[in-house]
Amino acid sequence: MTNNDVMVRVEGLRKSYGTVEAVRGVSLDVHRGQVVVVIGPSGCGKSTFLRCVNLLETPSAGTLQVGDRTIDFNAAHTMPRGRDLARFRARIGMVFQQFDLFPHMTALGNVMSGPMIVKKMREQEAEAIARNLLAKVGLTDFTARFPRELSGGQQQRVAIARAMAMEPELMLFDEVTSALDPELVGEVLDVMKELALEGTTMIVVTHEMAFARDVADHVVVMDAGQVVEQGPATEVLLQPKNARTVSFLARFHSTIGDRKS
**3-state secondary structure labels for all residues of the chain:** CCHHHEEEEEEEEEEEECCEEEEEEEEEEEECCCEEEEECCCCCCHHHHHHHHCCCCCCCEEEEEECCEEEECCCCCCCCCHHHHHHHHHCEEEECCCCCCCCCCCHHHHHHHHHHHCCCCCHHHHHHHHHHHHHHCCCHHHCCCCHHHCCHHHHHHHHHHHHHCCCCCEEEEECCCCCCCHHHHHHHHHHHHHHHHCCCCEEEECCCHHHHHHHCCEEEEEECCEEEEEEEHHHHHHCCCCHHHHHHHHHHHHHHHCCCC
Instruction: Look at 84 and 260; give whichever has higher pLDDT.
Output: 84
Residue 79 lies in a domain: no
Q: pLDDT tens digits for 215-225?
A: 999 999 999 99
pLDDT of 3 reads 57
Confidence (pLDDT) at 261? 37
Asked if residue 46 is part of any domain, the answer here is no
pLDDT on residue 87: 87
Q: Is 146 inside any structural domain? A: yes
* Residue 79 predicted with pLDDT over 90: no
What was the pLDDT predicted at 4?
A: 66
Confidence (pLDDT) at 257: 67
As a whole number of angstroms, the distance between CA 161 and CA 110 comes to 9
Answer whether residue 228 shows pLDDT above 70. yes
* pLDDT (0 to 100) of residue 83: 87
Range of the domain at 119: 102-167
Q: How would residue 70 be classed by pLDDT, with cut points 50, 70 and 90?
A: very high
Q: Which amino acid is at 74?
A: N
Asked if the structure places residue 122 within a domain, the reply is yes
> Residue 77 pLDDT more than 80?
no
The answer to whether residue 144 sits within a structural domain is yes
Q: Indicate the residue type of 209.
A: M
The domain tally of the chain equals 1
Q: Quick one: how far is CA 125 from the chain centroid?
A: 26
Of the two residues 79 and 65, the one the predictor is more confident about is 65
pLDDT the model gives residue 99: 85
Mean pLDDT of the chain: 93
Q: How confident is the model at residue 75 (pLDDT cuts 50, 70, 90)?
A: confident
- CA-to-CA separations, 88 to 55, 81, 109, 261, in angstroms, rounded: 9, 10, 24, 40
Share of the chain above pLDDT 70, in %: 97
pLDDT of residue 116 exceeding 70: yes
Q: Write phi, then psi, for 260 (nearest 5 degrees).
A: -80, 140
Q: Let me know if residue 128 belongs to a domain.
A: yes
Compare 208 and 76 and report the one with higher pLDDT: 208
Is position 121 within any domain? yes
Within 13 Å and on the Cβ side, how many CA atoms surround 126? 19
pLDDT, average across residues 21-36: 97
Q: Which residues contact 254 (CB under 8 A, 6 or more apart)?
A: none
141 part of a folded domain: yes
Angle of helix 123-136 relative to helix 152-164, nearest 10 degrees, comes to: 130
Laid out side by side, the sheet with 35-39 consists of: 92-95, 170-174, 202-205, 35-39, 218-223, 226-232
